[in-house]
């Protein structure tokens, strides 16, 4: 999912998950452990939107967003596709297994800062198969099932409580309204 670029990359520094690169005077980051990311816009049969809340260290706050994750980020998942990653992440984060996943859109996460591409998918036909919450204690994910008709008021309430809301929620709701068949 990463586009190839002309010219020569020079690695400035590298860590376990990220590499800082410079090309033609432009600094950006690359992930070293995956082929992309997926955001899952999930809706239950009774029209509730599945959102997740977790503390994010880079911003030092609790954030609200759609379930999401990296594609092929574990050794046993190299070559994983977007649909398999979305299904895996839904079960890990929310405890829901979708029977249907529809790819809606693929685009850059932040074209001025990284080469990462993110896929937005729609998950439906959800069946509760586990507790969710993430794979380990550092994720500590709380799952929210929010009625679609009241989601605007719910989001505003979360902002008043000091939560950061990922802008991808608004993109996902747009896709849900205008692109989902």
Residue 43, in any domain of the structure: yes
Question: From CA 55, how far away is CA 115, in angstroms rounded?
Answer: 25
Reported as a pLDDT band with limits 50, 70 and 90, residue 109 is confident
Report the range of poorest mean pLDDT among 18-22, 75-79, 113-117, 165-169. Answer: 75-79
Digit-coded pLDDT (tens) for 31-40: 888 888 999 9
**DSSP for 22-86?**
EETTEEEEEESS-SEEEEEEEE-TTSEEEEEEEEETTTTEEEEE--EEEES-SGGGTT--HHHHH
Residue 105, in any domain of the structure: yes
Residue 23, in any domain of the structure: no
Question: From CA 85, how far away is CA 73, in angstroms rounded?
Answer: 9
Residue 11, in any domain of the structure: no
Question: From CA 53, how far away is CA 39, in angstroms rounded?
Answer: 14
Task: Look up residue 116 and give its DSSP letter.
Answer: -
Residue that the structure tokens 């809340």 belong to: 53
Strand, coil or helix: what is 126? strand
Structural domain of 169: 35-178
pTM (2 decimals)? 0.89
Residue 22, in any domain of the structure: no
pLDDT at 107: 94
| Span 35-56, average pLDDT | 95
Question: From CA 116, how far away is CA 106, in angstroms rounded?
Answer: 10
Mean pLDDT over the full length of the chain: 91
Residue 135, in any domain of the structure: yes
Task: Look up residue 10 and give its DSSP letter.
Answer: E
**Structural domains counted in the chain:** 1
pLDDT at 2: 55
| Span 104-128, average pLDDT | 93
């Amino acid at each position: 999912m990463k586009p190839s670029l002309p010219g020569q990359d020079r690695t400035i520094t590298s860590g376990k998950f990220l590499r800082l690169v410079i090309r033609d005077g432009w600094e950006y980051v690359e992930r070293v452990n995956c082929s992309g990311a997926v955001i899952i816009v999930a809706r239950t049969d009774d029209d509730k939107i599945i959102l997740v809340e977790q503390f994010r260290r880079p911003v030092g706050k609790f954030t609200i967003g759609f379930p999401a994750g990296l594609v092929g980020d574990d050794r046993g998942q190299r070559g994983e596709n977007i649909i398999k990653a979305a299904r895996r992440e839904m079960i890990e984060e929310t405890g829901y297994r979708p029977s249907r996943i529809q790819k809606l859109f693929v685009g850059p996460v932040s074209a001025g800062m990284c080469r990462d591409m993110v896929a937005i998918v729609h998950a439906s036909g959800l069946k509760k198969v586990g507790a969710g919450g993430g794979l380990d204690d550092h994720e500590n994910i709380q799952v929210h099932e929010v009625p679609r008709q009241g989601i605007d008021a719910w989001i505003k309430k979360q902002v008043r409580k000091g939560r950061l809301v990922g802008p991808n929620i608004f993109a996902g709701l747009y896709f849900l309204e205008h692109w989902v068949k």
